[in-house]
Amino acid sequence: MTYMPNFSYQVFATVANQKTFAAAAKSLRVTPSAISHSINAFEKELGFPLFLRNRTGVRLTENGKQILPLVQEIIAAETKLNEEAAQLSGLNKGHVRIGGFSSVFINWLPEIINSFKDAHPQVGISVQQGSFNDVVEQVRLGNLDVGFATLPIDPGLEVLPLYRDRIYCVTPLDFKPQNGHTITKADIKHEEFILQQIDYDRETKKALDTYDVSVNSIQYSIDDASIIAMVESGLGLGILPELALEKLSGDVKRYPFAQDFYREICLVAHHKPRQTPSTKAFIQTVQAYIQKRY
């Protein structure tokens, strides 16, 4: 027997995430009128409106904001029930929604997913790329089952540290630190830096602040590859972690800072009572991969 989450709950949670009925309809593969009818019926059942409608979409009412976490817990519980029932029936079915950032997707995730699919061929996988903060928020909201991010993480989620990823200064070929080995304040006193705007926080910001790099000396780029290209052309220096540099090529050099900086890559998920069997199995696969690789 298969247990399906209440359709009204699914619709409500999806509209809250997508911000429009049309986007929610596309996500759930139903008509916009079905979405509208479901929301209207749910609001009538509860006795209060869940959304404020406008020309660009919808936003949650205060009552809607209070109801959303409860509905997400019900959906998660029903999904877990479905997977547990499937396991007891010997079906080994499920689905894992994974979030992460580019360097993890490029360097880790293909091998992790292949290993997981070998052991669990009937479990579906979907992936979503985003910034650290976006991934954590989507896990918290229940739109992702597990996500790769960096510390620190706000309380309320299970956090599993994975790897200390050293941060480097990326320079043109003709650049050389005064001591020949590490970057000091004197080396970058008059230099400009190029980085992704979403990365200007946490350890990247800490490194720049420690070395007295002003905001006016920072240019922003689209992604890691474009940073390498701009550094290669002599337009500035870059700051990139080791994992991001693994599969990037270019006529550049990388140097550690005189003071070591690391980003702490971690895995985030809901606490174990809310994790489905598929999510638990995926987490175990990630931990085994990290242990084997490092």
pLDDT (tens digit per residue) in 187-211: 998 899 998 876 556 778 888 888 8
Question: Residues spanned by CATH 3.40.190.10 within the chain?
Answer: 93-161+266-293, 163-263
**CATH, domain 5-73, list 2.60.40.10, 1.10.10.10, 1.20.1050.10, 2.40.50.1020:** 1.10.10.10
Q: What is the mean pLDDT of the chain?
A: 88
Residue 217 scores a pLDDT above 80 = yes
Residue 38 scores a pLDDT above 50 = yes
> 154 burial class (0-12, 13-18, 19+ CB within 10 angstroms)?
exposed
- CATH architecture of the domain with residue range 163-263: 3-Layer(aba) Sandwich (3.40)
Lowest mean pLDDT among 27-41, 177-191, 246-260: 27-41
Residue 2 scores a pLDDT above 60 = no
Q: Residue 267's closest CA among 160, 165, 163?
A: 160
What average pLDDT does range 91-114 have in this prediction? 90
Bigger pLDDT: 236 vs 93: 236
pTM score, whole prediction: 0.71
Interval 135-149: pLDDT, tens: 999 998 888 999 999
Write out the E strands in 72-217.
94-100, 123-129, 146-150, 158-172, 193-196
Residue 165 scores a pLDDT above 70 = yes
Q: Residue 238's closest CA among 222, 250, 254, 262?
A: 254
Structure tokens at 107: 């360097």
Interval 72-102: pLDDT, tens: 888 888 887 777 776 655 446 788 999 999 9
Q: What integer pLDDT is reported at residue 86 of this predicted model? A: 67
Residue 5 scores a pLDDT above 70 = no
Bigger pLDDT: 216 vs 61: 61
CATH superfamily, domain 93-161+266-293, is Periplasmic binding protein-like II (3.40.190.10)
